[in-house]
Structure 1
Protein backbone atom coordinates (compact mmCIF):
# COMPACT_ATOMS: atom_id res chain seq x y z
CA UNK A 1 0.00 0.00 0.00
CA UNK A 2 1.40 3.36 -1.03
CA UNK A 3 -0.47 5.59 1.45
CA UNK A 4 -0.63 5.20 5.22
CA UNK A 5 -3.36 7.74 5.82
CA UNK A 6 -6.34 9.33 4.15
CA UNK A 7 -4.92 12.87 4.28
CA UNK A 8 -2.01 11.95 2.00
CA UNK A 9 -4.24 9.94 -0.28
CA UNK A 10 -6.76 12.79 -0.55
CA UNK A 11 -3.95 15.20 -1.29
CA UNK A 12 -2.95 13.04 -4.27
CA UNK A 13 -6.57 12.79 -5.42
CA UNK A 14 -6.85 16.58 -5.25
CA UNK A 15 -3.73 16.94 -7.41
CA UNK A 16 -5.21 14.57 -9.99
CA UNK A 17 -8.51 16.48 -9.92
CA UNK A 18 -6.64 19.73 -10.57
CA UNK A 19 -4.86 18.12 -13.51
CA UNK A 20 -8.15 16.80 -14.87
CA UNK A 21 -9.72 20.27 -14.64
CA UNK A 22 -6.82 21.72 -16.60
CA UNK A 23 -7.24 19.03 -19.27
CA UNK A 24 -10.99 19.67 -19.41
CA UNK A 25 -10.26 23.38 -19.93
CA UNK A 26 -7.98 22.47 -22.85
CA UNK A 27 -10.61 20.11 -24.26
CA UNK A 28 -13.39 22.69 -24.07
CA UNK A 29 -11.16 25.31 -25.67
CA UNK A 30 -10.84 22.92 -28.62
CA UNK A 31 -14.59 22.31 -28.60
CA UNK A 32 -15.09 26.06 -28.77
CA UNK A 33 -12.77 26.25 -31.79
CA UNK A 34 -14.76 23.44 -33.43
CA UNK A 35 -17.94 25.47 -32.96
CA UNK A 36 -16.29 28.29 -34.92
CA UNK A 37 -14.97 26.05 -37.70
CA UNK A 38 -18.23 24.21 -38.33
CA UNK A 39 -20.54 25.88 -40.83
CA UNK A 40 -23.86 24.93 -39.22
CA UNK A 41 -25.25 23.18 -36.18
CA UNK A 42 -26.06 20.05 -38.21
CA UNK A 43 -22.32 19.31 -38.20
CA UNK A 44 -22.05 19.29 -34.42
CA UNK A 45 -23.35 15.78 -33.65
CA UNK A 46 -21.30 13.38 -35.77
CA UNK A 47 -22.51 9.88 -34.92
CA UNK A 48 -19.71 8.14 -36.82
CA UNK A 49 -17.09 10.18 -34.95
CA UNK A 50 -18.78 9.47 -31.62
CA UNK A 51 -18.63 5.72 -32.22
CA UNK A 52 -15.01 6.00 -33.41
CA UNK A 53 -14.08 7.78 -30.17
CA UNK A 54 -15.99 5.28 -28.02
CA UNK A 55 -14.31 2.35 -29.77
CA UNK A 56 -10.90 3.87 -29.10
CA UNK A 57 -11.74 4.62 -25.47
CA UNK A 58 -12.92 1.06 -24.91
CA UNK A 59 -9.69 -0.33 -26.39
CA UNK A 60 -7.49 2.02 -24.37
CA UNK A 61 -9.47 1.23 -21.22
CA UNK A 62 -8.86 -2.48 -21.64
CA UNK A 63 -5.14 -1.87 -22.21
CA UNK A 64 -4.99 0.16 -18.99
CA UNK A 65 -6.95 -2.37 -16.96
CA UNK A 66 -10.01 -0.13 -16.62
CA UNK A 67 -13.58 -1.29 -17.01
CA UNK A 68 -14.47 -0.44 -20.64
CA UNK A 69 -18.19 -0.19 -19.84
CA UNK A 70 -17.58 2.39 -17.12
CA UNK A 71 -15.23 4.36 -19.33
CA UNK A 72 -17.72 4.26 -22.22
CA UNK A 73 -20.40 5.63 -19.89
CA UNK A 74 -18.08 8.41 -18.74
CA UNK A 75 -17.04 9.29 -22.30
CA UNK A 76 -20.58 9.31 -23.64
CA UNK A 77 -21.43 11.79 -20.88
CA UNK A 78 -18.37 13.89 -21.75
CA UNK A 79 -19.24 13.81 -25.45
CA UNK A 80 -22.83 14.88 -24.74
CA UNK A 81 -21.59 17.67 -22.49
CA UNK A 82 -19.19 18.75 -25.24
CA UNK A 83 -21.98 18.76 -27.82
CA UNK A 84 -24.16 20.93 -25.57
CA UNK A 85 -21.23 23.28 -25.00
CA UNK A 86 -20.60 23.47 -28.73
CA UNK A 87 -24.25 24.24 -29.47
CA UNK A 88 -24.33 26.91 -26.76
CA UNK A 89 -21.18 28.55 -28.15
CA UNK A 90 -21.81 28.03 -31.85
CA UNK A 91 -20.21 30.89 -33.79
CA UNK A 92 -19.24 32.90 -30.68
Structure 2
Protein backbone atom coordinates (compact mmCIF):
# COMPACT_ATOMS: atom_id res chain seq x y z
CA UNK A 1 0.00 0.00 0.00
CA UNK A 2 1.29 3.46 -0.84
CA UNK A 3 2.03 6.06 1.80
CA UNK A 4 -0.82 8.25 2.88
CA UNK A 5 -0.70 11.76 1.37
CA UNK A 6 -2.18 14.96 2.69
CA UNK A 7 -4.37 16.86 0.19
CA UNK A 8 -1.64 19.42 -0.52
CA UNK A 9 0.83 16.59 -1.24
CA UNK A 10 -1.33 15.19 -4.05
CA UNK A 11 0.17 16.31 -7.34
CA UNK A 12 -2.21 14.54 -9.73
CA UNK A 13 -5.86 13.56 -10.04
CA UNK A 14 -4.74 9.96 -9.57
CA UNK A 15 -3.09 10.89 -6.24
CA UNK A 16 -6.31 12.54 -5.07
CA UNK A 17 -8.45 9.62 -6.26
CA UNK A 18 -6.21 7.11 -4.50
CA UNK A 19 -6.63 8.98 -1.21
CA UNK A 20 -10.39 9.28 -1.67
CA UNK A 21 -10.56 5.53 -2.40
CA UNK A 22 -8.53 4.84 0.76
CA UNK A 23 -10.91 6.95 2.84
CA UNK A 24 -14.00 5.42 1.20
CA UNK A 25 -12.70 1.95 2.03
CA UNK A 26 -12.21 2.96 5.67
CA UNK A 27 -15.71 4.46 5.77
CA UNK A 28 -17.24 1.21 4.50
CA UNK A 29 -15.43 -0.67 7.27
CA UNK A 30 -16.74 1.80 9.86
CA UNK A 31 -20.28 1.68 8.45
CA UNK A 32 -20.16 -2.12 8.62
CA UNK A 33 -19.05 -1.95 12.25
CA UNK A 34 -21.81 0.56 13.02
CA UNK A 35 -24.34 -1.66 11.24
CA UNK A 36 -23.52 -4.51 13.61
CA UNK A 37 -24.52 -2.31 16.53
CA UNK A 38 -27.68 -1.16 14.77
CA UNK A 39 -28.60 -4.81 14.21
CA UNK A 40 -27.98 -5.56 17.88
CA UNK A 41 -30.15 -2.59 18.88
CA UNK A 42 -32.96 -3.98 16.73
CA UNK A 43 -32.58 -7.32 18.53
CA UNK A 44 -32.90 -5.61 21.91
CA UNK A 45 -35.90 -3.43 21.06
CA UNK A 46 -39.33 -5.03 21.25
CA UNK A 47 -41.66 -2.50 19.60
CA UNK A 48 -41.18 -1.06 16.09
CA UNK A 49 -42.00 2.40 17.44
CA UNK A 50 -38.84 2.24 19.55
CA UNK A 51 -36.79 2.49 16.37
CA UNK A 52 -37.67 6.17 16.05
CA UNK A 53 -36.46 8.16 19.07
CA UNK A 54 -36.69 11.87 18.10
CA UNK A 55 -34.85 13.08 21.21
CA UNK A 56 -31.93 10.71 20.55
CA UNK A 57 -31.91 11.58 16.84
CA UNK A 58 -31.65 15.31 17.51
CA UNK A 59 -28.90 14.73 20.08
CA UNK A 60 -26.89 12.64 17.61
CA UNK A 61 -27.33 15.18 14.81
CA UNK A 62 -26.32 18.04 17.11
CA UNK A 63 -23.16 16.16 18.16
CA UNK A 64 -22.20 15.47 14.55
CA UNK A 65 -22.85 19.10 13.55
CA UNK A 66 -20.61 20.28 16.39
CA UNK A 67 -17.92 17.76 15.45
CA UNK A 68 -18.13 18.81 11.79
CA UNK A 69 -17.61 22.43 12.72
CA UNK A 70 -14.55 21.51 14.80
CA UNK A 71 -12.92 19.70 11.85
CA UNK A 72 -13.89 22.29 9.23
CA UNK A 73 -16.58 20.19 7.53
CA UNK A 74 -19.79 21.87 6.44
CA UNK A 75 -22.30 21.20 9.25
CA UNK A 76 -25.22 20.97 6.83
CA UNK A 77 -23.42 18.28 4.86
CA UNK A 78 -22.72 16.31 8.04
CA UNK A 79 -26.35 16.67 9.14
CA UNK A 80 -27.63 15.45 5.77
CA UNK A 81 -25.35 12.41 5.91
CA UNK A 82 -26.37 11.51 9.47
CA UNK A 83 -30.10 12.08 8.94
CA UNK A 84 -29.95 9.83 5.86
CA UNK A 85 -28.05 7.19 7.82
CA UNK A 86 -30.44 7.44 10.77
CA UNK A 87 -33.52 7.22 8.52
CA UNK A 88 -32.14 4.09 6.89
CA UNK A 89 -31.35 2.60 10.32
CA UNK A 90 -34.86 3.34 11.62
CA UNK A 91 -36.43 1.49 8.68
CA UNK A 92 -33.95 -1.37 9.06
CA UNK A 93 -34.65 -1.72 12.79
CA UNK A 94 -38.41 -1.56 12.28
CA UNK A 95 -38.20 -4.32 9.67
CA UNK A 96 -36.27 -6.61 12.01
CA UNK A 97 -38.60 -5.95 14.94
CA UNK A 98 -41.77 -6.42 12.87
CA UNK A 99 -40.47 -9.66 11.33
CA UNK A 100 -39.47 -11.02 14.74
CA UNK A 101 -42.84 -10.10 16.27
CA UNK A 102 -44.67 -11.80 13.37
CA UNK A 103 -42.78 -15.03 14.03
CA UNK A 104 -43.67 -15.19 17.73
Q: Tell me the TM-score normalized by structure 1.
A: 0.92
Q: Which runs of 4+ in 1 moved over 2 A?
A: 88-91
Q: Tell me the TM-score normalized by structure 2.
A: 0.82
d(CA) in 2 for partners of 1:76, 1:86: 15
Does residue 14 of the first structure (1) align with residue 33 of the second (2)? Answer: no
d(CA) in 1 for partners of 2:25, 2:92: 21
Determine if contact 2:66/2:75 at 8 Å carries over to the other structure.
Answer: yes
Deviations 1:58-78, CA, capped at 9 Å, x for gaps: 111111111111111111111
Does residue 54 of the first structure (1) align with residue 61 of the second (2)? Answer: yes
RMSD, aligned α-carbons: 1.4
- State which of 90, 99, 102 in structure 2 corresponds to 1:83: 90
Please state how far the C-alpha of 1:36 moved relative to its aligned partner: 0.5
Greater Rg, structure 1 or structure 2? 2
d(CA) in 2 for partners of 1:10, 1:75: 24
Which blocks of at least 5 consecutive residues in structure 1 are unaligned?
Answer: none
